[in-house]
Amino acid sequence: MSRIGKLPISIPAGVNVTYKDNIVTVKGPKGELTQYVNPVIDVKVEDGHVVLSRQDDEKQSRAFHGLYRALVHNMVVGVSEGYKKEMELVGVGYRASNNGNIIDFSLGYTHNIFMQLPAEIKVETKSERNKNPLIILESCDKQLLGQVCAKIRSFRKPEPYKGKGIKFVDEVIRRKSGKSAGAK
C-alpha cells in the first residue's frame, strides 16, 4: 500500500474541504484552491480529516493514490499557512524592482526584463547596501509558485565558476575551479 497515500490529512481550523464530482475544493484564510481527482481514487471528508483510498491495486491506481494525497495536502497547507520562496540575485549590477505584480529585472542584458506575475502571487523586492538583492514570493498555490520561481531562475541561471545568477536563498551552488594556472 502507498505509504504516502494512506496517511490521513488533518484539516486545521478555518479550512473547509469539499468533494463533489471528482473535484476537491479547499477554502481557507489565504485563498481557495481546486483540484481534479481521478475517479479511481475515493475521497472522504470526515471528522476533521481527509482520507484518500483506491478502488483496486493496479499500478496506475497506486501511483495516483500517493499523487493526489500529496496534492490535496499541499492545498490544505497552502490555504492555511501559505508558501514562501526567497530568491537572490548574485552578480555585479544585477537588480530587481517591482511595481505591483510586475517585476523589472536588470541582469546584464542590453534591455531590462519585465515579468507580469499571476494575481495569486504576492511579490516583494529588497535591495540593501552591500547585500544581494532579494525577491520574496508568497502564494497559497505551491505548484504555481514553483513554476514562477523556475521561470525567474531561467532568466539567468547560476553558473558554476563565479556563482553569478538567480538562485534560491538556501541553495548551494557546486563550484568549479577555473583554468589550472601554469599547467604545461
pLDDT at residue 112, rounded to an integer: 95
pTM over 0.75: yes
Span 126-177, pLDDT tens digits: 999 999 999 999 999 999 999 999 999 999 999 999 989 999 999 999 988 8
pLDDT at residue 125, rounded to an integer: 95
Instruction: For each of the domains in the chain, give its residue range(s) and CATH number, in order of start.
Output: 9-80 (3.90.930.12), 83-168 (3.90.930.12)
* SS3 assignment, position 79: helix
Any idea what the Cα angle at residue 113 is, between residues 176 and 126, rounded to 5°?
A: 75
Grid cell locating 125: 523586492
Instruction: Write the DSSP string, 122-175.
Output: EEEEE--TTS--EEEEEES-HHHHHHHHHHHHHTSPPPTTT--EEEETT--PPP
Is the pLDDT at 183 greater than 80? The verdict is no
CA atoms of 133 and 98, how far apart (whole Å): 12
